[in-house]
Structure 1
């Protein structure tokens, strides 16, 4: 257990550092916005580009990998929406945010650091592939659910989705990496050094920025709903992924570990940003991010132990 704690301690220690920096006023909201913008547009795309270009593409990807993650995601998304509606009497928009908070994990800021520490370069390709598929699926589903109940036309929703996905920096970074793989290009020389330097900034800055964000967003309201979301996010989703990836499909250790740990990550900041954009369920999203991130310290150690890491 001590080895596992030491594995995740640097990750959550940097989150705590960011929170303390915000709490004491050493870094303010402007710093948070600047760091978030840098990571979203430059740092994270550079890291994803590096991971994809350095990865060894398998000849085939087992359907079990996708089923393990998305079967669990569908279950927790529907369960969160149903719980928010029938147990807590939330509006349609708020139930969508509850579902998104349960289904959208913080894969970039916390998932990548923990998975790379646990499995190293063997996890590079499964990480990149899951990120490439997951972001469009979750954002499209949530947008359709909210926009579908509003006055926007079907063509308007489609245009908005197409533009948002085609211009998303994370997806562009992954696409550039795949293209580089297809043409046999591996960054080297000055370009390779620059990519390595940018990628190296991403993990530590992401963790510190998450700490700043937790202070900015905080626990605003809807604690019961957020607790339900956190349990679904941290324990139910990875349990389903573990059973499907391990006993049913017998995926390789790095692939099983990647899908389970991704599923075990806390609610992502994207859920809060999405809620704030639409003015729906902001309290649910922000509180889910804060509570699930705190509980994910324990959750990460538990799932690493289950996976036999450390």
Structure 2
């Protein structure tokens, strides 16, 4: 257990450092905003572009990995949405945003560093495979469901809305660019890739530190029962489904680790951005991100202990 905590704790200490820096006013809100813009619009896209451009697509594009992860994510979206409606009487649009929050695990800021700390940088192929499709999949499900619920938008108008939202996203664009370079065997000058990799190496520490600063802004408000319900689904139920589906699809141990650990991460900031975009369920999702991120220290240790 001590070894597992040694693996997990540094990731969350960086988050805690960002939280403490903003709490003690050593780091301003404006600085946090700037750091998160750098991380989310520059550093993480550089990291993903480099990873996608060099990814062994044939090895990484494994239907078992993608099926185990995204079936469990979609089931979690349904469980969270229907549970929020039936158990807590939340409005329909709140329920969709709540379902999105559970489905959109923090694959980048938590999933990558935890997996890398536990198993090394060579263990991330399945993580990158999941990340390559995660934003597109979750945005497609969330935006499609929300737009239909809000105004009954369908057909071409719905497709236009979904595609517009996805392809304004720097992460989506960087993944698409990296895969294009990979598939088309486009030569990229080494000096350019060196610069990309230099920026990309700053992605995870900058994003983790900034995540701590952003979480400080989230006040622990909202329905406590709903928050507990969402944390349970995010941190226990979804990875358990991923574990079961991974065994069913006969994943090897490296693939199973990536599926389960990625699914076991708390909801990411994107969940709050989605709720804020539609103006629904912001308090409860912000609080879920706050408590879920803190609880991930314990639950990630649990999953690391039982994984092969």
Q: TM-score, normalised by structure 2?
A: 0.93
How many residues align? The count is: 307
CA distance in 2, matches of 1:139, 1:198: 26
Q: CA deviation at 1:49?
A: 1.4
Q: CA RMSD in A?
A: 1.8
Q: CA deviation at 1:187?
A: 5.3
Q: CA deviation at 1:164?
A: 2.1
Q: CA deviation at 1:172?
A: 1.6
Which position in structure 1 is the counterpart of 2:159? 158
**Counterpart contact for 1:55–1:121, Cα < 8 Å:** no
Partner deviation per Cα, 1:98-142 (whole Å, 9 max, x = no partner): 111111101111111111223334333322221121211211221
Which position in structure 1 is the counterpart of 2:243? 242
Which position in structure 2 is the counterpart of 1:91? 91
Q: Which structure 1 segments of 5+ residues have no match? A: none
Which position in structure 2 is the counterpart of 1:136? 136
Q: TM-score, normalised by structure 1?
A: 0.93
**Counterpart contact for 1:57–1:125, Cα < 8 Å:** no
**Counterpart contact for 2:8–2:118, Cα < 8 Å:** no
CA distance in 1, matches of 2:296, 2:161: 33
1:48 aligns with 2:37: no
**Counterpart contact for 2:60–2:125, Cα < 8 Å:** no
Q: Which moved more, 1:166-175 or 1:255-264?
A: 166-175
Which position in structure 1 is the counterpart of 2:194? 193
Runs of 4+ in 1 over 6 A off after TM superposition: none
CA distance in 2, matches of 1:118, 1:135: 24
Partner deviation per Cα, 1:185-234 (whole Å, 9 max, x = no partner): 57564222211210111000110111011101232212211110011000
Which position in structure 2 is the counterpart of 1:206? 207
Q: Which structure 2 segments of 5+ residues have no match? A: none
Q: CA deviation at 1:42?
A: 0.7
CA distance in 1, matches of 2:279, 2:92: 12
Q: CA deviation at 1:37?
A: 1.4
Partner deviation per Cα, 1:260-284 (whole Å, 9 max, x = no partner): 1110000111111111121110112
**Counterpart contact for 1:53–1:186, Cα < 8 Å:** no
